[in-house]
Structure 1
Amino acid sequence: MTSTPSLPDPAGAGQPIVLPANGTTVAAEDLQARFVHAADANADMTIDASQVENVGQAMLQLLVAARAHAQAEGLHFAINAPSEAFLARVAACRLGEPLGLEMEKEREQ
């Protein structure tokens, strides 16, 4: 009997997608596959940003694109428990609104 490997659940069976401590380009490439799979399955996306110590441009671009897709498809997208480092970078890049985060006046600019 031949078995076909099954793809993992797009968002880990309803589990949040946990961002790594260091959101490098390589880490973004790894997460991109999970986001694409979730998008293909029309799955809601919940992002856990609590462990982020450093987040790069590629990771932020990926998150903005994932949220835009979710909005266009009427899916839920939320970033939960963002770390201070994550919030500081988002504010510095003025991406609070595109990521659906309420920022304190974009961290006072």
Structure 2
Amino acid sequence: MDQPLQLPDAEERALRLPAHGTTVTAEDLRVRLVLAADLDDAIEIDASEVESVGQAVLQLLVAARAEAVSGGQEFRIANPSPAFVDRVNRCQLGAAIGLETGDVL
């Protein structure tokens, strides 16, 4: 008998951002965000290991959050590193990405 495919639990499904989010890593992130959106669960981004994050990754996160919100899907950034929070705040993207602006989380 075929058993249904077991989905990983929510913690294992969190999308972990790389330490250095660049244009090169953005394509992989884009694919993973699309797949996560198809699951109809909350989209959780683990930003705990981020040391630097570039424009392409930030654009993807802004777009992914906007799409999630418009579709009624929860989108959250989990455990953002100080470097991630600093970059997001310096770019004034806290609200667009879902971080409280000015707060170091």
Q: What's the TM-score once normalised by structure 1's chain length?
A: 0.80
Moved more, 57-66 or 42-51: 42-51
Q: Would you tell me which structure has more helix in proportion to its own residues?
A: 2
The equivalent residue for 1:14 is: 10
Rounded Cα–Cα distance in structure 1 between residues aligned with 2:23 and 2:97:
18
Of 46, 57, 60, the match for 1:59:
57
Shift of 1:44: 1.7
Tell me if 1:29 matches 2:27.
yes
| 1:37 positional shift | 1.3
Q: Is the 8 A contact 2:22 2:54 kept in 1?
A: yes
Show structure 2 runs of 5+ residues with no match: none
Q: Which runs of 4+ in 1 moved over 6 A?
A: none
Distance 1:65 1:44 in 2: 15
What CA deviation, in whole Å up to 9, does each residue of 1:40-70 have, x standing for no partner?
Answer: 3333201110100000000000000110011
Provide the rounded CA distance (Å) in 2 between the counterparts of 1:103 and 1:36.
26
Letter in 2 for 1:71: V
- Name the count of aligned residue pairs: 98
2:69 to 71, 83, 88: 71
RMSD: 2.0
| Unpaired runs of at least 5, structure 1 | 1-5
The residue that corresponds to 2:38 in the other structure is: 40
Q: CA deviation at 1:80?
A: 1.0
Q: Work out the percentage of aligned pairs sharing the same amino acid.
A: 53
C-alpha displacement of 1:76: 0.9
Q: Which residue identity lines up with residue 69 of structure 2 in the other structure?
A: Q
Q: Provide TM-score, normalisation by structure 2.
A: 0.83
- Residues 78-97 of structure 1: matches in 2 within 5 Å? 78-97=76-95
